[in-house]
Structure 1
Amino acid sequence: MRAETGTRARRPAGPGLISKVGIILVGIVFFFPFIWMFASSLKPSLEVFSSGGSLLGSRLEWSNYSSVWTAVPFARILVNSFLVAAAGALLAVTVSLLSAYAFSRLQFRYRDRLFLVFLGTLVLPQEVLVIPLYIMASRAQMVDTYAALILPFAFGAFGAFMLRQFLLTLPRDYEEAARIDGAGQLRILVHVIAPLLRAPLAVVGAFLFIEYWNSFLWPLIVINDQDMATLPLGLQMFSGERGTDWGPLMAAATLAVVPSLLIVVAMQKQLANGVNLGGFGGR
């Protein structure tokens, strides 16, 4: 009996070990491009592609990182990207919360049909939208402004859909209690609903921040002034008529990834809680 009990107790160790090894291997595969990018940022520019499969060059070229700040206005570009991503994510999360509350709690005619139409905007590729958006931005004299970078994509359906799916799973008991106490819709949303949505709001906010941070096509079209460039446009500045300066480009790309990684690491608990919540399954 003891032998059988010991055997049964040891059985889960095998599958658990295999799962951990598998996760580590998958992590290495996905993380390898970042390792290669960082290693390439420390190579001389001429050796980035000529050194074969070696991660190390003939010497460590730390000057690539100093060249990033002198070759292009990289400090200004970082500030632009951070302002656009932070303001855009904050505005988009606010709009998403209001939209999700309206489509899940308020009763009005054709609510569900309007939500399906709103959700249908997700299937439209950005390439279809940039021309009419540019015409509108040009007529509103918003070209080469922060507003042009932030406003057009702050009213998307992605965040509203995710938050609505979670709201549909929340019981209405707290809201009814607040309504009996005399609270209005806005007060219920701010003081009752929003605190319950901290984890989903963190997930949506992180996704939207990274989406603004990595956006390339729309800034490329609406920004002509170098002082208003964001990071994807700044990385393009390392390519010119004489070719691409690969060493500083890889160094700049490495620096561009750092803020996104810091956000994920700093918010990993909230992100994990938000993803694990049943509300994202929808109904």
Structure 2
Amino acid sequence: MDAHKPAYAANSVIGVKAGRPGARIKARTVLLYIVLLLVAAYMIIPFLWIFSTSLRLAKDSFALPPAIFPTSFVWENYQEVFEKVPFAAFITNSIKIAAIVVIGHVLISSMAAFAFSRIKFPGRDVIFLVFLSGLMIPSQVTIIPQFILISKLGLVDTHWAIILPALINPLGIFMIRQMMLTIPHSYDEAAYMDGANRMWVFLKVILPMAFPAVSVTSVLLFIANWNDFFRPLIFLNTYEKMTLPLGMTVLTGLFGTGNLSAVLAGVTLSLIPPLLFYMFGQKYLIEGLSVGGLKI
């Protein structure tokens, strides 16, 4: 029995030492979850405050200490949003503009990406670099020539003044092109051998395989146009044609003297469409981002 004690003790020591890395990994995992929960709480708390304040009386909007969760339920604030401004028209206008831009983007950007990735023509790379350089130009720099062009076309104070310039998106063309470059050319060759034309190859072969990149750029473009305030402020004058971000400034009142609870009720309602759009496109967004490190 004594002869086995050293071996048993040695095995115990080895077992303890072997168990330490697992304990360290478990401790790191717990610490990681704690950090992630703190970051999540830091990001969610402002939204909880917006929602809870939208259900309070206006005089309780800046109560100290601020209440994160609702302390009262004044649903009249949401009713006031629709009574003071044509909120439904604002939402409809924003959905109309964002949807048309996304649909046009899918058609135009995907066809441009197909040409830049699958068709060889003189000056292809130079033209692509010119398109790509558009990412470095702020939109505020081009707003004056855009306004001059839109005014000469007679499109000022129409939704087309916002839609047309947004149809060409260099970021969308770049991301979809990079995705298409990863698709082997054997698919094209097999389709051509079966008698398919170029448009059929684009619609039936390449575009479905590049759908993750198309979905990512569509989600980003929808949210960008939904939240756009600058261009509607320049091009739209009629009250009923305003988009939601521009219409919300009417709800705030002159010098911000409006009912803050009603304003935050409008903000809460304005978050619903992009949130639903993101929830339904989350799968494709994550899939597209996972293939973001593509070769040029």
**Under a length normalisation based on structure 2, what TM-score does the superposition of the two structures give?**
0.89
Name the CA distance, whole Å, in 2 between partners of 1:282 and 1:219. 37
Residue in 1 that maps onto 2:288 = 274
Letter matched to residue 143 of structure 2: V
2:35 is the alignment partner of 1:22: yes
Name the CA distance, whole Å, in 2 between partners of 1:271 and 1:258. 18
Name the CA distance, whole Å, in 2 between partners of 1:94 and 1:45. 46
Residue in 2 that maps onto 1:121 = 134
2:172 is the alignment partner of 1:166: no
2:120 is the alignment partner of 1:107: yes
Q: CA deviation at 1:238?
A: 1.2
SS at match of 2:122: coil
2:273 is the alignment partner of 1:259: yes
Q: CA deviation at 1:58?
A: 6.7
Which structure: larger Rg?
2
Name the CA distance, whole Å, in 2 between partners of 1:58 and 1:20. 30
Name the CA distance, whole Å, in 1 between partners of 2:87 and 2:295. 42
Q: CA deviation at 1:14?
A: 2.4
Query: Is residue 188–residue 205 contact of structure 2 (8 Å, CA) maintained in 1?
Result: yes
Q: CA deviation at 1:173?
A: 1.3
Superposition map of 1:17-166 within 5 A: 17-55=30-68, 59-166=72-179
Query: Is residue 187–residue 205 contact of structure 2 (8 Å, CA) maintained in 1?
Result: yes
Q: CA deviation at 1:5?
A: 5.6
SS at match of 2:183: coil
Letter matched to residue 177 of structure 2: R
Letter matched to residue 236 of structure 1: T
Query: Is residue 49–residue 67 contact of structure 2 (8 Å, CA) maintained in 1?
Result: no
Letter matched to residue 77 of structure 1: F
Q: CA deviation at 1:280?
A: 4.1
Gaps of 5+ in 2: 1-10
Higher alpha-carbon deviation: 224-233 or 268-277: 268-277
2:221 is the alignment partner of 1:221: no
Q: CA deviation at 1:91?
A: 0.6
Q: CA deviation at 1:128?
A: 1.1
Residue in 1 that maps onto 2:7 = none
Gaps of 5+ in 1: none
SS at match of 1:143: coil
**Under a length normalisation based on structure 1, what TM-score does the superposition of the two structures give?**
0.92
Q: CA deviation at 1:69?
A: 0.8
Name the CA distance, whole Å, in 2 between partners of 1:206 and 1:280. 19
Query: Is residue 85–residue 209 contact of structure 1 (8 Å, CA) maintained in 2?
Result: yes
Letter matched to residue 216 of structure 2: V
Letter matched to residue 252 of structure 1: G
Kindly tell me the number of residue pairs found equivalent between the two proteins: 282
Residue 218 of structure 2 is aligned with which of 174, 183, 205?
A: 205
Letter matched to residue 164 of structure 1: R
Letter matched to residue 241 of structure 2: M
SS at match of 2:143: helix
Name the CA distance, whole Å, in 2 between partners of 1:57 and 1:200. 40
